[in-house]
């Protein structure tokens, strides 16, 4: 069976909208099944906590997947991180109802069987294209990991439990614990 033809960004953007996780990796389409209930519960909890924090302080915008983030228009690299924060200073990446460029922060809720691709590959793209912080929620290990990106590399990697307040350079006043966020 021949491989599927590669897509340009423009071709992908003309495909019908879908709620199914879909990404384009240098022209190759990747599609996955829907996330689990546990994944979605954690994602929704983070969305509520971060959206309230960001709105109250008028810091920018929080968006949740499925949402195409076009990291490289020419090379057709389009990812759908679980959640993104775009500061007022980076609002210019919101163009014509699209996100073209790197958000300030991305959150990935990690599952035992990743939806699309490999985690290190995703981290490398986030770093390469200028995401400032990468938040990783390891649900099975009950750990929260934050990667701080500076000068095109991961400058710091902080791993904490669910009881430790989150300390973010991008959202310095956000100090909730993962436990508080996920509390039902």
Domain containing 53 — which CATH number? 3.90.1570.10
Asked if residue 70 belongs to a domain, the reply is: no
SS3 content of the chain, % helix, strand, coil (to 5): 25, 35, 40
- Helix runs in the chain, H state only: 9-13, 37-57, 119-129, 178-182
Calpha distance 146→83 (Å, rounded): 14
Whether residue 7 is contained in a domain is answered as: no
Q: What are phi and psi of 89, to 5 degrees?
A: -65, -20
Residue 109 falls inside a structural domain: yes
pLDDT tens for the chain, 184 residues: list them. Answer: 666 779 999 999 998 888 878 899 999 998 888 888 999 999 999 999 999 999 999 999 999 999 999 999 999 999 999 999 999 999 999 988 899 999 999 999 997 766 667 889 999 999 999 999 999 999 989 999 999 999 999 999 999 999 999 999 999 999 999 999 999 5
- Do the domain assignments include residue 76? no
Concatenated DSSP letters of 95-120: ETTEEES--SEEEEEE-SS-SSS-HH
pLDDT of 5: 79
- DSSP-based three-state secondary structure for 32: coil
CA–CA separation, 163 vs 108, rounded Å? 19
What pLDDT does residue 18 have?
81
Confirm whether 28 is domain-assigned: no
User: Cα(137)–Cα(176) distance, rounded to whole angstroms?
Assistant: 14
Range of the domain at 160: 34-65+81-182
Q: What is the pLDDT of residue 114?
A: 63
User: What integer pLDDT is reported at residue 20 of this predicted model?
Assistant: 79
Q: Is the CB of residue 103 less than 8 Å from the CB of residue 85? A: yes
Give the pLDDT score at 34.
Answer: 84
Total number of domains in the chain: 1
Q: What is the pLDDT of residue 33?
A: 82
């Amino acid at each position: 069976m021949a491989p599927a033809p590669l897509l340009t960004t423009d071709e992908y953007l003309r495909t019908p909208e879908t709620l199914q996780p879909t990404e384009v990796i240098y022209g190759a389409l990747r599609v996955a099944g829907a996330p689990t209930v546990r994944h979605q519960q954690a994602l929704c909890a983070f969305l509520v906590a971060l959206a309230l924090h960001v709105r109250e302080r008028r810091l920018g915008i929080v968006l949740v997947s499925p949402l195409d983030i076009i990291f490289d228009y020419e090379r057709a690299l389009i990812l759908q991180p679980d959640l993104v924060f775009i500061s007022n200073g980076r609002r210019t990446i919101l163009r014509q109802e699209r996100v073209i460029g790197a958000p300030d922060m991305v959150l990935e809720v990690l599952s035992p069987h990743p939806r699309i691709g490999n985690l290190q590959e995703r981290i490398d793209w986030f770093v390469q294209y200028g995401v400032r912080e990468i938040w990783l929620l390891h649900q099975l290990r009950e750990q929260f990991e934050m990667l701080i990106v500076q000068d095109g590399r991961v400058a710091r990697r902080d791993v904490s439990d669910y009881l430790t307040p989150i300390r973010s350079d991008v959202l310095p006043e956000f100090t909730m614990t993962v436990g508080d966020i996920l509390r039902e």
